[in-house]
Amino acid sequence: MKMNDQADKLREIIHNLKMRKDETVSQEKKRCRVITVTSGKGGVGKTNMSVNLALVLSQLGYKVVILDADFGLANIDILLGVSPRYTLLDVVYHDKTILDVLCQGPMGIQFVSGGSGIKEVIDMDHLKIDILTKKMSFLDEIVDIVIVDTGAGLSDNVTHFIYAADDVILVTTPEPTSIMDAYALIKTVCSADKKPNIQLIINRAENYKEAQQIGEKLCLAAEKFLGARIRQLGYVLSDITVVKAVKQQQPFVLSFPKSSVAKQVIEIGHCLVDEQNRQESNSLGIKGFLDKFTKFIKV
Ligand SMILES: Nc1ncnc2c1ncn2[C@@H]1O[C@H](COP(=O)(O)OP(=O)(O)OP(=O)(O)O)[C@@H](O)[C@H]1O
Ligand SMILES: [Mg+2]
């Protein structure tokens, strides 16, 4: 299927599901919403979720940029089959603008490759951080949603992305190890004075019931033992379609737009921008995100 046909199919499916494009969004938004996608355990589907969700949100009318903030392996480019020319570091060291480092993905989504560069951002002096913040703040004017795809685990770097974001999507599979690591992450990042807005996605579930039960248990435990209010955002079933799409280096919402997994991500995208969700998300924009991020790394 050609890229244009794929885009049409996705559009049609979203339309058929009566998912209303919010026409007012780009006019009323002055600051973009920054959403960090993270997990306790690695390999649970964060990058696939980030990319496919970005495409769905783009189809719902939002201008979306993905920040590839995985330290070790930059994966967004591999999943999209696109090679970035520059990374975020070129903004600071080679006088590139933020527009120069935005890499074009399918259907209008864009991504910035952080790659190993993010680690260097953390070691930057104040002057360079100022340059980075000023240049990146331009995203507030041109973008509605920034999705930050992080590496797994509880390293300091990942927690900074969690605290700095307006919203956090926590991905877990139904495996006990993945759930325990998700719980450990919630325990680490939630305290009396820090309450990130965490929303849960159960990925690779066997069926809806399993996803629902596991999500409920985790949310209840977080509330009861950690005083943390986590919202269930949605689920994606385990499906060979995802593996096939990864092999083709094409996001599954494009290559298999009629698959059940594509429909589940469309559902998640819709929930993420529904009225309640947007009200609960107190958006500080990319400027707010960077201010908080640098405050955390400099203390
Ligand atoms: N719903 C699913 N059904 C079947 N396989 C899946 C599903 N989601 C993810 N996978 C498989 O898991 C692999 C890892 O997914 P992905 O790279 O998105 O995880 P990740 O959390 O970003 O990993 P990392 O922690 O290394 O960054 C995919 O390549 C795919 O093979
Ligand atoms: Mg990843």
CA 115–ligand 2 middle distance (angstroms): 11
Q: Is 172 in the pocket of ligand 1 (CB under 6 A)?
A: no
- 170, 69, 166, 48: which is closest to 114 by C-alpha? 69
**pLDDT of 130:** 82
Q: Domain-by-domain residue ranges, the chain?
A: 33-292
**Hey, which of 50, 68, 243 would you mutate to test ligand 1's pocket, going by the most ligand atoms within 8 Å of its Cβ?**
243
**pLDDT of 22:** 46
Single pTM value for the model = 0.88
The residue whose CA has the least distance to atom 19 of ligand 1 is 45
What is the tens place of the pLDDT at every residue in 239-292? 999 999 999 999 999 999 999 999 999 999 999 998 777 766 677 888 888 888
Q: Is 78 in the pocket of ligand 1 (CB under 6 A)?
A: no
Instruction: Assess contact for 250 and 81: CB atoms under 8 A.
Output: yes
**pLDDT of 159:** 87
Q: Is 43 in the pocket of ligand 1 (CB under 6 A)?
A: yes
Q: Which residues of 236-261 are buried (b: 16+ CB within 10 A; e: fewer)?
A: bbbbebbeebbeeebbbbbbbbebeb
Ligand 1 nearest-atom number relative to CA 49: 18
CA 152–ligand 2 middle distance (angstroms): 8
Give the domain 33-292 fold: Rossmann fold (3.40.50)
CA 45–ligand 2 middle distance (angstroms): 7
Spatial strand order of the sheet with 33-38 comes to 102-104, 110-113, 64-69, 145-150, 33-38, 167-172, 198-205, 231-237
Q: Is 243 in the pocket of ligand 1 (CB under 6 A)?
A: yes
The residue whose CA has the least distance to atom 15 of ligand 1 is 45
**Hey, which of 36, 38, 41, 47 would you mutate to test ligand 1's pocket, going by the most ligand atoms within 8 Å of its Cβ?**
47
| Residues in the chain, pLDDT under 70 | 1-4, 13-30, 71-74, 115-119, 121-122, 156, 279-281, 297-299
Using CA atoms, how far apart are residues 47 and 217, in angstroms rounded to an integer?
Answer: 25
Name the 3-class secondary structure at 248.
Answer: coil
CA 236–ligand 2 middle distance (angstroms): 16
Q: Is the dihedral of CA 231, 166, 140, 89 positive or negative?
A: negative
Which of the ligands is closest to the CA of residue 49? 1
| Beta strands 231-237 and 198-205, pairing class | parallel
**pLDDT of 256:** 97
**pLDDT of 29:** 47
**pLDDT of 18:** 44
